[in-house]
Amino acid sequence: MSTREEFLAPIRAAGRPEVPEPELPPLRTGRGAALVERFVAAAEASGAHVHRGAPPDLAGDVGVSRALYGLADTGSVVLAAAPDEPRARSLLPWTHVALLRIEDILPGLAELFAELGPELPSALAIVTGPSRSADIEQRLAVGVHGPGEVHVVLET
Amino acid sequence: MSALDQPPGAFRARARDALAAKRMQAALDSSTFRLYDHRLAAWDGLGDVEALRETARRIRERTIARLDDHLEAFADAVEARGGNVFFARTAEEARAYVVDVCTRAGARLAVKSKSMLSEEIGLNTALEAAGVRAVETDLGEYLLQLAGRRPAHIVAPAIELTKEDCAELLSRAGGVAVEPELEALTAAARRQLREAFQTADVGITGANFAVAETGSICLVTNEGNGRLVSSLPRVCISLLGMERVVPTTAELAVLLQLLARSGTGQPLTVYTTLLTGPRRDGEEDGPEESHVVIIDNDRTNLVRGRYRTMLSCIRCGACLNVCPVYRKAGGNAYSDVYSGPMGAVLVPLLAGLAQAPALPHASSLCGACTEACPVKIPLHELLLDLRRDLVAEGVASRRERLAFALWSLVWSRPWSYRLTTRAARLGQRFGAVAGPGRVWARAGRALPRLARRRYRDRRR
């Protein structure tokens, strides 16, 4: 017997109680201006700076990457690792700029995963605002590991 | 001895120490209440929270009911994408595999992102013994590692350190004095840990979830250390508790919404990362080699019977923040790994009741934990079941069993019951002399007085 079989044997032997199928919340189809406004409000609430059209004039330690999608519920940008999108670009610099086309804004997580399907990139990062920690005396600190400053540029 | 074992009397002794430490009490109060308030605020705007909890409960229970299939599918999916999977039945097997991967990679330094499972299997000691330095990169855990202490809260591990403590630890580690100011402390930690990230050969992560269909490991962090650990070193190893699998990303979406809201009150953590195999052709960063270690370590004790529901736990920490016992006793009283109500249920089930006999009693059975649980685990009922098991398995002390045997003998007969209630008025003046009454009175409190006439006499 392989290790895998030995590992799974006691679980198999325990039987399978019937559990009713969960009803997942339906996917939302909303697009358009209202979704964009919801995204902007949530992104700003998470501590990101949102720019419409023109990218901000930033100097110094800056990384720019393209977001695959944006999520209106949480103001997150979705970054996928790819040959022209290395992970370090959104991770090592103090300032990160994510370029996001407004037509790529989706309502939320469920809609994101439905769009992506079962084949995922080697690394998918859903990023919501700057790196933060409340580990020291429960007070909010930014830029502990990842970027301390996050900009989202909305492109029409 | 496993990391979960608790010497007899440990809970009582450690809880008493915690109660006497004023700073710790203040830290516990402010942090647990803050997380609690944030959690409540986070539910606003989510719609029907109860319906979502019920959905989450069913997702977890249905997945656990077919855990073998989902684990097989997950392992196949990881391997199809170029990753390696190892099934570890025991902590020892898991440690040996991780050490072996590190040795083959010629690793001297491993960076780690937060993993309770790593604490549970005692990984750091095994790595050090094999000549691999293991550095915790979660800010709280890094500080605790510098202090030589164990995490006290599964979500906010360093809940008990002050900024002066942190300044001293970081100054010593970096060799330069760091001001006890939040920004300076954070910057110093960032500098020190960046160096570790850039020289480490191996990154070790935990896993909040694993997705069977896609072969992905899902990590949630606020600091971004999970992304760094899984992106910069050449080799990435993820430790997965066998129960943390979900069938597809559709179920993951539901659970992620609940996890962050329940843990810290955020709609979503800052970084939610899905890792699917090693880096692909043409990519310039990401691990060249990726491993997932699926760990049982006595979780199969739970697959049968009424404790199975505990396998649904997603380790959000909500039950800790609402628990009146946790808020006073602190995390270190429970075990070196899991604490609060979820720890009080899980530790005796994993390590055996005889190894942690005090934990089922570390609850007032108020049910706040059950009410807070996003996947509706009846935690306080399980604690009561465990107390029953303590007696049934003969773990409970002879004195406790004798006391309850006598009590049940007396109160199960009407005449002796009546006799004791009549005698109670005479006996109440001695209530503060021994037993629970003495503990109550020692804190300067008066025991409530019994009514002059019994209710049963008044009805006549």
Of residues A134 and A118, more confidently modeled: A118
Q: Kindly state the percentage of chain A with pLDDT values over 90.
A: 80
CB contact under 8 Å between A124 and B161, yes or no, is no
CB count, 10 Å around CB of B64? Answer: 24
CB–CB contact B252 A76 (8 Å): no
- Asked whether residue A34 is domain-assigned, the answer is yes
Given this model, what pLDDT does residue B156 score?
A: 67
In a domain, A7, yes or no: no
pLDDT at site B335: 79
Instruction: Please tell me the predicted confidence (pLDDT) of residue B446.
Output: 83
| A94, part of any domain | yes
Higher pLDDT, B425 or A71: A71
Q: What's the pLDDT at B24?
A: 79
* Contact criterion met (CB < 8 Å) for B283 and A24: no
Listing DSSP states for B364-397 in one string gives: ----HHHHH-TT---HHHHHHHHHHHHHHTT-S-
- Kindly list the strands in the beta sheet with A69-71, ordered across the sheet, starting from the edge strand earlier in the chain: A105-106, A69-71, A76-80, A123-127, B271-275, B216-221, B209-211, B245-246
List, for residues B118-127, the tens digit of each pLDDT value: 999 999 999 9
Q: Is A108 on the interface with B (CB under 8 A)?
A: yes
Task: Please tell me the distance from the alpha carbon of residue B460 to that of residue B454, in angstroms, as a whole number.
Answer: 11
CA-CA distance, A112 to A7, in Å (whole number)?
34
Q: Show the tokens assigned to B74.
A: 């997950």
ipTM tops the 0.90 cut: yes
Which of 1.20.1730.10, 3.40.50.10420, 3.40.50.300, 3.40.50.2300 would CATH assign to domain B48-162+198-299?
A: 3.40.50.10420
Residue A60 has pLDDT above 60, yes or no: yes
- H-helix or E-strand containing B67? helix B67-80
**Structure confidence at residue B154 (pLDDT):** 64
Give the mean pLDDT of A102-110. Answer: 96
* pLDDT reading at A125 higher than 60: yes
- Chains A, B: CB contacts under 8 A, how many? 237
Q: Pick B139's closest partner by Cβ from A82, A133, A147.
A: A133
Q: Kindly list the residues from chain B whose CB atom is less than 8 angstroms away from the CB atom of residue A130.
A: 270
Give the number of domains in chain A.
Answer: 1
Q: What is the CATH number of the domain that holds A134?
A: 3.40.50.10420
CB-CB under 8 Å, B139 with A116? no
Of A141 and A31, the one with more pLDDT: A141
pLDDT tens string B370-417: 999 999 999 999 999 999 999 888 888 888 889 889 999 999 999 999
* Mean per-residue pLDDT of chain A: 94
Give yes or no for B300 touching A (CB within 8 A). Answer: yes
Q: Is residue A63 part of a domain?
A: yes
Cα B92 to Cα B349: distance, rounded to the nearest angstrom: 19
Cβ–Cβ of A122/B163 closer than 8 Å? no
Tell me the Ramachandran region of residue B377: left when phi exceeds 0, alpha when psi lies from -120 to 50, beta otherwise. Answer: beta
Query: Which residues in B164-191 are b (16+ Cβ under 10 Å) and which e?
Result: ebbbbbbbebeeeebebebebbbbbbbe
- Considering only alpha carbons, which residue of chain B is nearest residue A27? B250
The reply to whether residue A133 touches residue B140, judged by beta carbons under 8 angstroms, is yes
Whether A145 has its CB under 8 Å from any CB of chain B: the answer is yes
Chain A contact for B222 (CB, 8 A cutoff):
yes
Chain B residues with CB-CB distance to A42 below 8 A = 267
Would you state the pLDDT for residue B304?
87
pLDDT for the residue numbered B460 = 63
Chain B touched by A11 (CB under 8 Å): yes
A14: in domain: no
Spell out which residues of chain B touch residue A11, defining contact as CB-CB under 8 Å: 67-68, 71, 242, 300, 303
> Residue B275 in 3-state DSSP?
strand
A-chain residue closest to B88, CA distance: A7
Please report the pLDDT score of residue B290 as a whole number: 98
Q: What are the beta bridge partners of residue A153?
A: A51, A99
Among the listed residues A42, A52, A123, A117, the one whose alpha carbon sits nearest the alpha carbon of residue A89: A123
Residue A35 Cα, gap to closest chain B Cα (Å): 15
Q: Which residues of A touch B154 (CB under 8 A)?
A: none
The pLDDT of residue B48 is: 86
Question: In B, which residues are within 8 Å of A24 by CB distance?
Answer: 55, 250-251, 254
Classify residue A138: in a domain, yes or no.
yes
| C-alpha–C-alpha distance, residues B172 and A144, integer Å | 19
Which of B92, B209, B274 to mutate to test binding with chain A, by most A CBs within 10 Å of its CB? B274
Place of tokens 């050090």: B128
Chain A residue with Cα closest to B139: A135
Host domain of residue A140: 25-155
pLDDT at residue B8, rounded to an integer? 76
Length of chain B: 460
The boundaries of every CATH 3.40.50.10420 domain in chain B are: 48-162+198-299
Query: Which residues of chain B are modeled with pLDDT < 50?
Result: none
Over 70: is that where the pLDDT of A1 sits? no
Please give the Cα distance from B250 to A28 (Å, whole number): 13
